[in-house]
Chain A
Amino acid sequence: MAHPRSRLNRRSRLNWTLAALLPLGFLAVFFAWPVLAIITLGLREGGISEALTSADTWELVAFTLGQAAAATVVAVITGLPVAFVLARCKIRGLGVLRAAVMVPFVLPTVVVGLAFRAFWPDGGVLPIVLANAFFNVAVVARTVGGLWAHTDRRAEDAARALGASRPRAFLSVVLPALAPAIGSAAAVVFLFCATSFGVVLILGGARYRTLETEIYLRTVELFDLSGAAALSLIQFAAVIAVLLLGALARRRRETALALKGREELARRPTGGEWAVVAAAGAVVLALLTPVVGLIIRSLSTRDGWSLAGYRALATTGERGTLSVSGVEAALNSLRTATDATAIALVVGVFSAFVLIGLKRSGSRVSEALDTALMLPLGVSAVTVGFGYLVTMDALPGDFRTSPLLVPLAQALVVTPLVVRMVLPVLRAVDERLRQAAATLGAGPARVWLEVDLPLVGRSLVAAAGFGFVVALGEFGATSFLARPDAPTLPVVIARLMSRPGALNSQMAYAACALLMVVTIACVLLIERLRVPSSGEF
């Protein structure tokens, strides 16, 4: 009996390994090749050992990792209560709340940086950590909330019935079940914070620098490619080390959770749960502070309140500052974000299935592929961007200036997020369901379609929404590759912010408000989508 089974396993392992070539190919062409090319170019100039042995460099590494770790801790602690409310509570207006927590993600860093400077005029470490956490609370809330919404409540209730206190039940029953999602979210947040650029520049002045800001300065302003290459290598090594640590932490026994529909599990908060709801409320209020600040700025002039900024959005600015109107820019944003999300969903979901398939068939490639997919989050956008310049002309039609490069570059960032959101749920699907389906004669494709897809449908939709929002707010890749005849909203905001004059400034903040409205509307819309039968497990 053992013999045919192992042959079956070997065959499926081969199939999954072949399937892994698609995401790997995408990564190889649009990430590994350009990054290696630009680093090699830098290495050829020499001077690497100087950078590696300088005390300055190691201070830079320590600060980068330290602030990222601190921001991750803050984001996880503040994100958990919000995740609880999103997942478990039946409260009016939850849909809007779910959309609203996404808003920080799309706000241009210069706007957020200026908002934090209003509270900390001299910048410093604390505002850097808080600003980085601010951007990422949503990652924790949504990733953890996605799994939490489907974990069976009965285990927890049983623990409580057996006399466990609420905290005890949370620590010994709920938390272990959520651990994979928390680990996933923390890894993503850490990488985002380690490579955060704009807020460090604005809030750190010239005193606090990170690997990311230094790589940018060396590449872009000083054209010190060898110095940049040395730092990129260190960044690479640090990111891989962190990812491996994360993978190690995740390597717990895969738990088959009894997944349930959210509707079944959500209920009105009772007793002590209200304290958690209150904490979540406080977090959301804190998140909204900079948002309120920017709305006030969009409305205020020297002579009182005015809607002039919003009216100007219908035009191309005071003296035709922009090449398109604010509304057209919003449409451009929607278009590129749609492309990026589509590409990222295809690559991301496919990758998630491949990861599960590889793991189940006992292949060790799974972990490696998982780590590889996360790498683009931890590598400097400027390294990738300059890498494109020296490689993409080899692709047909001089890909360096192709309009498709923007959504592809964005997909690079969105794909790992999709994987991280879908994977924990996918892993938690009870294997027996798949086996039952297979026994009843369903082929592998049918099993996905009938078992996996309905179960992960909800988190798939959430991932799509998330990816869309990330692409909407993405500035690094877009500003690097943007075409002036089709600027997106973040690009338009940056341009308006860089001009003197009251109306330009008002219009910039009005454009931020528009970006927020578009974001909330899109998230609400995407969340309305229901993958057929996803509610029926």
Chain B
Amino acid sequence: MRRIVLVAALLAAGCSTQTAPKSHEVTLVTHDSFAVKQEVLDEFQRTSGITVKQLASGDAGELTNKLVLTKGNPIGDLAFGVDSTFASRALQEGVFAEYASPEADKGAQRYKADDTGKLHAVDVGDVCVNIDTGALAGNEPKSYEDLLDPKYKDKLVVENPATSSPGLAFLLGTIAKFGENGWQEYWTKLKANGVKVVSGWEEAYTQEFSGSSGKGPRPVVVSYASSPSAEEGRTKALLDTCYRQVEYAGVLQGAKNAEDARKVLDFLLGEKFQAQVAEQMYVYPSREGVALPESWAKAAPLPEKPQQLAPDKVRDGRERWVEQWRTLVQG
């Protein structure tokens, strides 16, 4: 009996530590990579009187699916981190509510997912082929086609599009570039040229890639346009091999505190937050006129002409493409 009481006491203790819903508390559901400078968040909380409670919910795919699963009774008030690969799915399921933010036309509109005004672009995180400039001195590839050159045999490592978000983005980039009918031929040649496939970015970048601290054997890797900013000039992104990934935020349909959630959304699109996304999340601000950190200007500029696919095209094709890719490259 005493044990039962103890359990009850434990449960009660747990419940009492849970903060009672304050009138100005907003739950921001994010992907795992969300990060914000503490001072910037503190200042927003001080000036707005809103307390932002963060809830990390996996990668972009996991986040999207969790939002879909809980759309009847959302786990938060707004969400950040649904990307262009999953945007269409979230919109189709009616996860987000419309909101015309006063900050939405300051640059975010350039990357919009559709015209409904439900999702707002917060940042851009393009996926590009990165190279180890030291290892390939004077012999650098530039384009998708260059990677088929025998001089780059056994040099490239990519991530599995079934298990990795940059891996999927790279596959989508090749589909955008070579078309529905051409991409399979490209990958067949890539395979013949010794492309190595690993399951995630960590293995590819920190272990296989020669330009990172892991000093691996392969000088060409699929990573982000921003990665070179952290490698002190040893690496470079190939700007002709990029695929545009946009990360969105939106107020959730059925949010308990929609009014304050809108203010948090304005904050995400506002100048102060936008100015620190590069350093905090290794992505590019969606807002116009926000300066990038100095080291980025040279090492990691925003790709000007990345490959792109319309969100609904991605939604319809994704599973089929990944399956076809699997048979082609793995089979």
Name A's B-contacting residues (CB within 8 A).
22, 110, 113-114, 117-118, 121, 201-202, 204-207, 217, 219-223, 301-302, 316, 319-323, 339, 342-343, 346-347, 350, 386, 389-390, 393, 396-398, 400-404, 407, 479-480, 482-485, 494-495, 497-502, 504-506
Contact = CB atoms under 8 A, between A and B. Distances in A.
Interface in B190-239: 197-203, 205-207, 212-215, 217, 223-224, 226-227, 229-231
Contacts of A386: 66, 69
A512 B212 CA distance: 19
A202 B199 CA distance: 6
Across the A-B interface, the 8 shortest Cβ-Cβ residue pairs? A501-B230, A404-B14, A502-B213, A500-B230, A484-B54, A500-B227, A319-B279, A220-B62
B319 A402 contact: no
B160 A206 contact: yes
Contact of B206 (A301, A495, A505): A505
Given A389-B69, A403-B17, A505 B61 contact: no
A505 B212 contact: yes
B56 A221 contact: no
A207 B199 CA distance: 10
Given A217-B162, A393-B75, 7 more contacts: A201-B199, A316-B38, A320-B38, A320-B279, A500-B223, A500-B231, A500-B282
A470 to B, nearest CB: 19
B55 A483 contact: yes
A205 B35 contact: no
Contacts of A346: 3, 6-7, 10
A501 B30 CA distance: 23
Contacts of A347: 7
A279 to B, nearest CB: 32
Interface string B260-293: 0000000000000000000110100000000000
B34 A498 contact: no
Chain B interface: which size bin?
35 or more
B27 interface: yes
Contact of A504 (B224, B229, B230): B230
B212 A205 contact: no
A85 to B, nearest CB: 34
B56 to A, nearest CB: 5
B213 A505 contact: yes
A393 B53 CA distance: 17
Given A118-B207, A217-B162, A483-B55, A500 B279 contact: no
Nearest to A207: B330
A393 to B, nearest CB: 5
A205 B230 contact: no
B101 interface: no
B65 interface: yes
Contacts of A219: 65
B163 to A, nearest CB: 6
Contacts of A350: 3
Contacts of A504: 230
Contacts of A110: 200, 202
Contacts of A202: 198-200, 203
A407 B217 CA distance: 42
A25 to B, nearest CB: 10
B83 to A, nearest CB: 13
A368 B217 CA distance: 53
Nearest to A225: B69
Interface string B4-20: 10110011001101100
Contacts of B188: none
A495 B197 contact: no
Summarize A's interface: helix, strand, loop or mixed. helix
A114 B207 contact: yes
A220 B163 contact: no
Contacts of A389: 66, 69-70, 75
A220 B67 CA distance: 11
Contact of B7 (A22, A495, A506): A22
Contacts of B61: 220-221
A117 B319 CA distance: 29
B48 interface: no
A201 B30 contact: no
B164 to A, nearest CB: 10
A402 B27 contact: no
A501 B197 contact: no
Contacts of A302: 213, 215
A484 B30 contact: yes
18 contacts: A114-B207, A202-B198, A217-B163, A316-B38, A321-B35, A346-B3, A346-B10, A401-B55, A479-B58, A483-B55, A494-B32, A495-B32, A497-B206, A499-B282, A500-B212, A500-B223, A500-B224, A505-B206
A535 B103 CA distance: 70
Contact of A403 (B18, B35, B38, B227): B18
A377 B20 CA distance: 33
A485 B223 CA distance: 28
Given A201-B163, A202-B200, A501-B231, A397 B18 contact: yes
Nearest to B319: A222
Contacts of A321: 35, 280
A97 B79 CA distance: 47
A223 B69 CA distance: 9
Contacts of A114: 202-203, 206-207
A289 to B, nearest CB: 16
B249 to A, nearest CB: 15
A479 B32 contact: yes
A393 B66 CA distance: 14
B326 interface: yes
Nearest to A390: B69
B18 A497 contact: no
A499 B230 contact: yes
Contacts of A206: 160, 162-163, 197, 199, 326, 330
Contact of B280 (A320, A396, A407): A320
A207 B160 CA distance: 11
Contacts of B27: 401
Contacts of A402: 14-15, 18
B280 A319 contact: yes
A320 B278 CA distance: 12
Nearest to A386: B69
Interface string B34-46: 1101100000000
Contacts of A494: 32
Contacts of B73: 393
A302 B35 CA distance: 28
B277 to A, nearest CB: 12
Contact of A485 (B32, B54, B65): B54
Contacts of B65: 219-221, 223
B324 interface: no
Nearest to B198: A205
B314 interface: no
Nearest to B211: A500
A402 B14 CA distance: 9
B93 to A, nearest CB: 10
B116 interface: no
Nearest to A200: B199
Contacts of B280: 319-321
Contacts of B6: 346
A29 to B, nearest CB: 11
Contacts of A320: 35, 37-38, 279-280
B68 interface: yes
Nearest to A487: B56
B143 interface: no
Contacts of A204: 199
Contacts of A207: 330
